[in-house]
Each structure stands twice: as C-alpha cells, then as structure tokens.
Structure 1
Amino acid sequence: MLSASHNAMPDNGIKFFARGGHKLADELEDRIEAVYEEHRTGAPWDRPTGAGVGRVRDYDEGFDKYVAHLIGVLPNRLDGLKIVLDEAHGAASRVSPEAFSRAGAEVITIGAEPDGLNINDGCGSTHLEMLKAAVVEHGADLGIAHDGDADRCLAVDHTGAEVDGDQILAVLALAMREAGTLRGETVVATVMSNLGFKLAMEREGLTLVQTAVGDRYVLESMKENGFALGGEQSGHVIVLDHATTGDGTLTGLMLAARVAATGKSLAELAAVMERLPQILINVKDVDKSRVATSGELAAAVTEAERELGSTGRVLLRSSGTEPLVRVMVEAADIEQARSVAQRLADVVKSALG
C-alpha cells in the first residue's frame, strides 16, 4: 500500500503486507530493503515495464463487505449516540462514517475530504484540536480521530478531553473480560505505555505483557501467545479476533459500543486508569548507538530511578529513523517528571554528543 501513516503527504511511502493482510516479518522486510538498495546503487535489475507491470482494478464490493464485517462484530448497536468523526482526510473518510451510521449513531464528520495532498494536515489523531472543539460545539457524546492510513484511533470525551490509546485499551480490556473474549486475562502493550495503565491493569487483576515499541512487536506477542487484545498509547489497537492488524474504525466502533452498552460517558469509562504525568524529550544529533554502552548514562538513569521510586519510571530509546534519543520520564508529580527528564536529556547530550 501507499501510505503516509500519521504523517504529512511528502512522507508517503510503500508498505508491504503478506497474503491475508498480515505484516511481514522483520527478516523479510530486511531482505526486500537490501534488494532495493542493491539496485538503487547500480546493480542490474530486470524489472517489468509497460504491460508487464500489471493492472489496476477497482474492487467496488470490497467497501460493502468491509462495512458489513465491522457492523457484524459489534456486540451492540450505537443508537442514541452522537459522535464526531475526524477522518484525517485519509483512508477512513468513506468507510468510517458509513459504518458508524449503519450501527445507529448520529454522525458528524470533519477532515473527510481527501484530495491526495491534505492527509493528516492539521487534523486526525495527531492534531486533536479541531475534534475537541467540534465535540463541544455539537454537544456530542464523544469524538473519534483516525490517522491517514486509519490504523489508529484516539478519542475525545464529551468535555473535549483526550482519551489516549492506553485508556482505550483499558476500556476494551474490561469489556472483553466481561464478554469472555479476553484470552488469558491478558493485554499486550509496549514499554511506552503510561505507568498508570500498568497500575490499572494490576488493580483489575489483569496481566500486562510489554514489548518493544512498535505495533509489529505487539502483534508478534499476541500471535505467539494467543492473546486477543493489544496496542500502543498512540491509538494503534489490535483486536486479533476481528482484524490482522490495527484498525482504527473497528477500535472506534468497539469503544462507542461500550459507551452505548453501559450507559456511562466515555469520561467515566476512561477513569478506570489515571494517566501519570509523562514527559518526553527528543535529544537530537547524538550517537544513538552508544545508549546501551555509556557508563555515564547508565549511572544517571540509576540515580533517576532511585529518586522516582515505585511511582515513576525512566525509559531511554534510540529512534529507529532519526539520529536522536528519546528520554521519557513518568512521575506522580509533573514538575518532578520534567526536572528528571531534563537532567537525563542533558546527560544524553554530553555523553553521546
């Protein structure tokens, strides 16, 4: 597929999927990239041209089949709910409003006029300002935001407050446990999930399995161990019984179905977890390859963890695509989180710069 994911149009790229809609293994992606690099730098490539490239065909019935699938997996209808949908001028612009409407919701759409250039442009899951304003303006029960390729879902409650991927996971985990579909009483998330999510799952008697950052690692753990629910704070939620990867429309529908079924507001449901203050600082232009080997940095992290104790945590992570290191600190107090994060960022800069 061609996708800019949650980014702007200039970041469009090519994404490969295996037969059946599954993501490729890391090793296979590496092999594809290696072949591409060989030919990009001059190796001969007997590639197809003209008619040999293939044909493009519209699959018109796919739209209705997909919407029918989405409606078919919902545990209950959405009658009585007024929902604002922000489609990020992307892939969900037709499907999502149709699915929510067929499920019984009163739908108001924004960001649903893609022109090939405006994807994620000031709207969608990475820009929630318009959605927050629209939910309050229309007196809606909630708002749902997708990103350009529609694999993410973030939400807004009736007050205009953000409900992130961790909170959505928490709400769906309890709903699935109640329905008997949360296999192993387990949720899979990444190490970037808020500490408040971990504490909430422990309090509810559920097991949390954490993976490296990236939905592919969440999915690998789910498939390997037979778990049904996993995701990321960014809103990339995987309900494996009904989709092979993250599906923002499906996630939004299931979240709205929980609101409709319980008669509670999204704000009430999301209160199952308290988001601890989280500070993220990107330290640029450093040698990210030395994060794991710097003694100075290791000592600074140990001291920070001692200071935070059991009510906070530290995570240092090298970016996979940029020459930077991400410093994430959580604490019960926002000022403490900010202070510790800045102190660690300064050490990263001095030790790895």
Structure 2
Amino acid sequence: MTIRLALVPGEPAGIGPELCVRLAQRVDLSTLCTAYADPDVLMQAASALRLPLELLDSEAEITRPGQLRLIEYRLPTPTRAGQPDPANAPGIIAALDAAAHDCLDGRMHGLVTGPFHKAAINDGGIAYTGTTERLAQQAGSDMVMMLARPGLRVALVTTHLPLRAVADAISGEQLERILTITADALRRDFGIASPRIAVLGLNPHAGEDGHLGREELDIIIPTLERLRARGLHLDGPLPADTAFLPHKLATFDAVVAMYHDQGLPVLKSTGLEHAVNITLGLPYPRVAVDHGTALDIAGTGRATPDSLFAAVAQCAQFAAQREQDA
C-alpha cells in the first residue's frame, strides 16, 4: 500500500519551512508526504535556499525532485525569518490540528512535525504546553514522549514541567502508565517481542536507600515490582549518572527517565542530527524533529535536515508496520 504522511512545518519564522524544502529534493521521502502549510512561506524558504519547489495538489503524483504536495493553511501576516509573530499562532495550530484530524480519520497514516515556538503560540492567545500534549488531548489518548537515535531510546515520565514540580508529578499510577505504554510501543512499533527497559531513579544515586529522597522506596520500587509480576522486564531504579554507560545501554531496549533534562541531554549530545521525537500511545504514528526552531539561523541555509529526514523515514516505517498488523 501507499503510505501517506501529514507534514507540518511548525513555526513559519523558524527553520521548519526550509527543512521541508530540502525534503522536497528527496523523492524517496517527499513522495510519502503532504504538507499542511502556507504556500507563500514554503516558496519564500525555497527562494532563500535557491532550491526548486513546485507545490502540487494533495492528490497529485510526485515525479521529480523539488515537488511537494500541499494542503493550504494560509497565515494572516507575512513571515520574516527569525521573527515569530503571535498573530500567526491560530493558523499554525489550525494546520497542526487538521493534520492530526486527518490521521485520526484514516486519510493520513502518520504525522511528521517540525519545531514549534511555544512562546509565540501562547502569546497569540492559545494555551500550549507542547505539541505532544496537544495531540494526546485531541485524540483522547494517554501518551509518552520518547526521543530516539540509533542505539538509544529515552522515554519520559514527566515532560514539560518546572523542575520543582517534577517530584509531585511522579506517582505509582503515572509511572505504571508510562512503562506500560512504552513496553507496548516497543513491541508493536519497534518489533521487540520482549523489551528490556531501564528505569532511572529520581534522586542522585537513586535515593541512596532513602538517604537522598524516598521516591525510589515509596513509589518507584513498588511500581516496578508490580509490573515485573505482570511479565515486564524492568531494571531499576538505576542511578542516572551511570545508567548511560555504553556497556549498560547494550543490555536495554529503552531507558525511562523521570524528567526531561535527566535523560535527553545524553541522547542529544551523542547524535542530535539523527535523533527524532516519537509520541507513543496515539492511535497513529507521530514523529517529530529533535530540535527547536533555531531562529538565529532561520533563512541562512545553515540548518541541517537530517532529523527531519530521519523523522519521515521512521514515521513511514511505523505506519507500514501498523497497516500490516491491522
């Protein structure tokens, strides 16, 4: 079957549009995608990059490099590279919501997203903590954020929270939900029959037997014991400062970190260009780039498209697997 992916560039003043233009030069990837975007923004990016771009109807066939299918979502104000305009927030979110809706109703088989600018969207009057959270709310699904690059997958128990709020957000119910969704996704989407998951502790040295915090003793360990009794292969709680040593990572299929900056700096420091952001638990595959809007280099042609290329390839693989299993 033909896989159809919805592609949303994200913040129009960031590097997302130019990454989509570079994607259009790769027929093996662009033939999978339909962009939900403002055509003027994409053409402006193509002009800045001095690359060909022909925007086609959403049902057209791509026959050569430089072509990209498009569903139009025009923005109310012109875009200037590096300068987000909150007035465009409703249009940006409309494109995202429409693409996700088309995935929910089966018109598209998966969703690929570029980087969004949270502050500009909130300043535009739309409450927005992140794309992952918005997609989960729209679908009515529990979700888990996972970032992955070759050789390492990191899922998060908490996502975009202030650090002082993290400990209060970690409960046995929350941790059980995260680990169950992660294990199910590793089996379904990654094809790992019996996934092995490393679970990090919250506190330094995983709490040092309660001397550096009791979350491990009171919440994490009892939850892991319950889930092990149900057949999940879980190792932990592990001290975060040694869990990512190569010889330990070789024994795990994924790592579950308690908070955003506990696990992601390791992943991003060792393969950002090929890393992707995966939303587990949605009714459809969603994969995003693993970087921000890069406003400082938007429009300069210096942005590398590798993460977007990897996101499209990974989303297509997930979509094909789900269609095969359906």
Same fold (TM over 0.5): no
Greater RCO between the two (CA within 8 Å, min separation 6)? 2
TM-score range, shorter chain: under 0.3
The higher radius of gyration belongs to 1
TM-score (norm 1): 0.23
TM-score (norm 2): 0.25
